Structure 1
Amino acid sequence: MSRSVAQRPDPPSRLLVAGLRGGSGKTTVALGLAAALRARGAAPAAFKKGPDYIDAAWLALASGGPCRNLDTFIMSEADVARSVLRCAESGRMALIEGNRGLYLRIAAVILNQVSGARHERTVRESIERYCSAPILGAIPRLRDAPFHDRHLGLIPPQEDPRAAEALDWAARLAEAHLDIGGLLRIARQTDDGRLLDAAQQPPGPTRPVFIAARAARPRIAVLRDAAFQFYYPENLEALRALGAEVVECSALEDARLPEADALYIGGGFPETQAQRLADNASFRESVRQAALANLPIYAECGGLMYLGRSLLLRQGEFPMAGVLPFRFRISHKPQGHGYAALRVERENPFYPVGLELRGHEFHYSSIANAEALETARLACRVERGHGIDGRRDAVCQGGVFALYTHVHALGTPQWGTGIVSAAERHRAAASGERRAENGGKQAAMDAEE
């Protein structure tokens, strides 16, 4: 019998890997499962609970596709549910790495840091006696694991030359110590209807209008390399869906910024690439000249730092693009960490006044020359979080909008429409200037004749 059009679709199978705290093995297990399933020809669709970029980057590499973040602070529950439901269209399992805490139904247990057969037997007997959850894996104590931490978490795969080897190691670990077949059976037993109910809730803010392809698409340059690597897949997808051409470039390798109608600089680790960024003087100068020409530039966190005058590190002071008058220093403790809520209070190239922006921040950097803030024009009031100075975020200067807060396009669709609209205005203004210049040249030639 054919399925009724009104009948609700089947949700995808899904598995969430959770733990009580950081360092409990969630990421290792999730990466191992993703890599092992991909090697079997059944790569899952990867997700990360929360706004984190680094674990998501590792999961994307392990699964061979984008990893999407699920977070009900920066996006609506309906957006979260619809993001997961898209897996059903391809028949892929949703593999979700959770965050700290076990606020959910436990379907199975994986033992970690098992010190030997006796230890495993004792723990198994206790769980089987007092709990109903099956044990579907036992990982021994590991020495020389290939994943290494840094101040914001794991070293990102973009900076790890042995990332592929690390994932091969994780896949072998999963095959040897996890009951992958049992985990897949549990993943198929998750249809309780709540995911479908959540997806049918009213959406959050107004969705962007998808624009058909046009002859003169606005070109948006995106810095994407080992220094600038924090980008939500949905943000870049939103720019393309709105009709823009996204052109990726590198502040480390390229000689200059490509021709573009706007520039988007995401977060990352300019501090770990400070010498290479400083050495590429021609690219820094091209960004500075573009800003002087009022190119719309949207910069987040590491992008904000790159637009500054310099980075102050233990090794010395490294020149950056020099668009903004700030010198940034790196502290031993986070200067901003957690969810952020901003209220747009001043006119700017990207957002309407009065709009609430929800996002997150995680930065060890701050402005060393605080006196430069006295004359800076900051567009947003901080209602939650820290921002630039504890009260404000988002420096506006010409076409530049640079802030510490990371914004997700699903929760703030005005992000995509704002950047594309700014790019279109810049393109139109540049075209008008070229026509006027060409008209002036033609008039001069006619006068000479």
Structure 2
Amino acid sequence: MHTQTSAHCPALFITAPASGEGKTTVTAALARLLTRQGKVVRVFKTGPDYLDPQILQVASKQTVVQLDLWMAGEAWCQQQLFLASQQADLIIIEGAMGMFDGQPSSADLAARFAIPMVIVMDVKAKAQTAAVLAMGLANYRDDVQVVGLIANHCASNRHRELIENTLPDDLPLIACLANSEQIKLPERHLGLVQAQEINTELESLLEAGADVLAATGIEHFIVHLPPITFWEQPLEPLPALLKNVRIAIAKDVAFSFIYQANIQLLTDMGAELRYFSPLSDSTIPAADALWLPGGYPELHAQALADNHSLLQSVKDFHRQHKPILAECGGLLYVLESLQSLAGDSYNMAGLLAGLGVMKARGGCQGMQTAALPEGELRGHAHHRSTSQGTPEAMCYGRRANHPAPGEAIYRVGSLTASYLHLFFPSNPTAIAHLFKPAMHE
């Protein structure tokens, strides 16, 4: 009879009433504070986010994995937490959006694994009301345990007292952070600026954030967090369907929206990964398949367009009928041209007819299922552009929480392209069929 294995580790879930309250700043600062003391801190990010994990990985000096009950599945999430609990002194999960936003929400994830939550709230322009809002969030559901409040943008000691005196004893004010620009993480249209773009500046921000948090005495709270039991959830062993398959992966500041879980899955299935830069390399490395992930090609459109040899290499790859997966930014790259917000047009690879057009606002986001011929894969969309003049779609994404059709999915020869970012562990066999030439025929 198999005995289920367990491990024990303190854990904390950092949530907020809304986006933009300071969750990532606090999470990153706390991870850096404890990491520089020699502790092993494993950080997870809720939901399909590429940018926050880049920052949190630098802060904790450990791999950061996304957790999502719908996209990844409950068993997969459970196993990631179990594995982390075997090596970590503390597990931190950063939530997404507001505490109860989304289906499933941050609160759903915290409740499923019995992880205590701390609310980070921007308390600018409110005092006692901030405490009342925190109490409302804390008491909305019986299966969620909220153990404290961190007040961001707290103006003074008096401001702190007004909040603290309104809170009940079982919902303490753990820390107050002043309105300090020196620790604010820089942002742009899809979220935070990528870690690799602000290397030196990011280190300064993380160290400053750790110093600010240390001064609040938050470590006293962390030390008294009780250990949580995380149970092993053995997953189906992955077949080596990609053994000896060489996959070229675009990776630079223009293409960086890559789940660590996707990389791990490809490696575990036997693939040999070869990275290259569409910005600076002249050719794709010798490979059997190509993955063009999302990113910010619009910020580097001129450099991408000027790299004629690499664009030709992509065209040649497609003519050889080798599998290509292009996701979001990768989709923009394989279109005929890309138009900037200023109206300037740049030639792209032209594997797929159409024009990519950047938008100043709006866009699409949300969880979707891609019903590919190879099998169904789960993923999400999040973009500020549209594709125009494209051919008829092979199929459309199926939205998780809405009846309207999702993103168009195109198939031109060996190319599969769409705005969807796929989560490979949601269907490993389908991914193997997508990337393995023999299976693709």
Question: Which digits, 9 at most, give the CA deviation of each residue in 1:222-276, with x for residues without a partner?
Answer: 1011011111111111111111110111111111111111111111111111122
* Unpaired runs of at least 5, structure 2: 101-106, 108-143
Q: Which letter does structure 1 place at the counterpart of 2:160?
A: E
Q: Displacement of 1:145 after TM fit? A: 4.1
Counterpart position of 1:16: 13
- What TM-score results when the alignment is normalised by the length of structure 2? 0.83
Give 1:31's match in structure 2, choosing from 22, 28, 32.
28
Q: Which amino acid aligns with 1:107?
A: V
Q: 1:149·1:155 contact (CA, 8 Å) conserved in 2?
A: yes
Letter in 1 for 2:381: E
Residue matched to 1:94: 91
Which residue of structure 1 lines up, in the alignment, with residue 385 of structure 2? 365
Deviation at 1:392, TM superposition (A): 5.4
Whether the 8 Å contact between 1:235 and 1:416 is mirrored in structure 2 is no
Question: CA separation in 2, counterparts of 1:143 and 1:207?
Answer: 47
**Structure with the bigger percentage of strand:** 2
Query: Do residues 132 (structure 1) and 170 (structure 2) align?
Result: yes
Larger Rg, first or second structure (1 or 2): 1
- Does structure 2 conserve the Cα–Cα contact (< 8 Å) formed by 1:74 and 1:407? no
* Aligned counterpart for 1:41 among listed residues 33, 38, 41: 38
Contact 2:357 2:387 in 1 (8 A): yes
Amino acid at match of 2:187: D
Aligned to 1:433: none
After TM superposition, the structure 1 stretch with the greater mean CA deviation from structure 2, 257-266 or 402-411, is 402-411
Aligned residue number for residue 338 of structure 1? 366
Separation (CA, whole Å) in 1 of partners of 2:51 and 2:316: 32
Worse-matched range after superposition: 156-165 or 276-285: 156-165
- The amino acid of 2:314's aligned partner reads V
Structure 2 SS opposite 1:410 = helix
- Tell me how large the CA RMSD over aligned residues is: 2.6
Deviation at 1:390, TM superposition (A): 4.8
In the aligned structure 1, how far is the partner of 2:294 from the partner of 2:160? 42
Change over 3 Å in CA distance of 1:80–1:315 after alignment to 2 = same
User: Contact between 2:25 and 2:183, CA under 8 Å: does it hold in 1?
Assistant: no
The correspondence of residues 207-218 of structure 1 with structure 2, limited to 5 A, is 208-210=238-240, 217-218=244-245
Q: How does 1:275-294 map to 2 (within 5 A)?
A: 275-294=302-321
Q: How far did 1:406 drift?
A: 1.3
Deviation of the 1:177 alpha carbon: 2.6
Q: Is the 8 A contact 2:377 2:424 kept in 1?
A: no
Partner of 1:447: none
The residue matched to 2:207 in structure 1 has which SS? helix
Q: Which residue of 1 aligns with 2:52?
A: 55
Judge conservation of contact 1:222–1:265 (CA < 8 Å) in 2.
yes
1:178, 1:334 → 2: CA distance? Answer: 41
Cα gap change, 1:279 to 1:167, in 2 (>3 Å) = farther
Tell me the CA shift for residue 165 of structure 1.
2.2
Q: What's the CA shift for 1:54?
A: 0.8
Q: Secondary structure at the match of 2:424?
A: coil
The one-letter code of the counterpart of 1:275 is Q
Q: Is the 8 A contact 1:208 1:417 kept in 2?
A: no
Give the match for residue 432 of structure 1. none
Deviates more, 1:296-305 or 1:356-365: 356-365
User: Per-residue displacement from partner, 1:274-312 (whole Å, max 9, x unpaired)?
Assistant: 122112111111111111111211111111111111110
Q: For 1:85, give the aligned amino acid.
A: F
1:53 counterpart letter in structure 2: Y
Indicate whether 1:252 and 2:279 are aligned: yes
Is this contact kept in 2: 1:211–1:241, CA < 8 A?
no
Q: 1:131 Cα shift?
A: 4.2
Q: CA deviation at 1:166?
A: 2.1
Query: Structure 2 residue aligned with 1:379, among 394, 397, 409?
Result: 394
Deviation per CA, 1:296-353: give whole Å up to 9, x if none.
1111111111111111011511111121111100112333211112333xx5xxx1xx
In the TM superposition, 1:122-271 aligns within 5 A as 122-127=162-167, 130-161=168-199, 162-186=201-225, 189-191=226-228, 195-196=230-231, 200=233, 208-210=238-240, 217-271=244-298
Task: Sort the Cα spacing of 1:341 and 1:416 in 2 relative to 1 into closer, same or farther, 3 A.
Answer: closer
- Whether 1:115 and 2:158 are equivalent positions in the alignment is no
SS at match of 1:325: strand
Partner of 1:413: 428
Instruction: Go from structure 1 to structure 2 and tell me whether the alpha carbon gap of 1:30 and 1:325 turns closer, same or farther (over 3 Å shift).
Output: same
What is aligned with 2:415? 400
Q: Bigger CA drift: 160-169 or 53-62?
A: 160-169
CA distance in 1, matches of 2:380, 2:279: 26
Which piece of structure 1 moves more, 136-145 or 231-240?
A: 136-145
Separation in 2 of the partners of 1:168 and 1:298? 38
Instruction: Flag the 1:84–1:385 CA change in 2: closer, same or farther, 3 A.
Output: closer
Paired residues, number: 395
SS of the residue corresponding to residue 74 of structure 1 reads: coil
Provide closer, same or farther for how the CA distance between residues 13 and 145 of structure 1 changes in structure 2, counting only shifts above 3 A.
closer
C-alpha contact (below 8 Å) 1:266/1:303 kept by paired residues: yes
Distance 1:31 1:411, change over 3 A: same
Q: Which amino acid aligns with 1:208?
A: L
Is the 1:239–1:420 contact (alpha carbons within 8 Å) kept by the matching residues of 2?
A: no
Q: Which amino acid aligns with 2:159?
A: H
Verify: 1:302 aligned to 2:332, yes or no: no
Change (3 A) 1:419 1:240: farther
**Letter of the aligned partner of 2:145 in structure 1?**
R
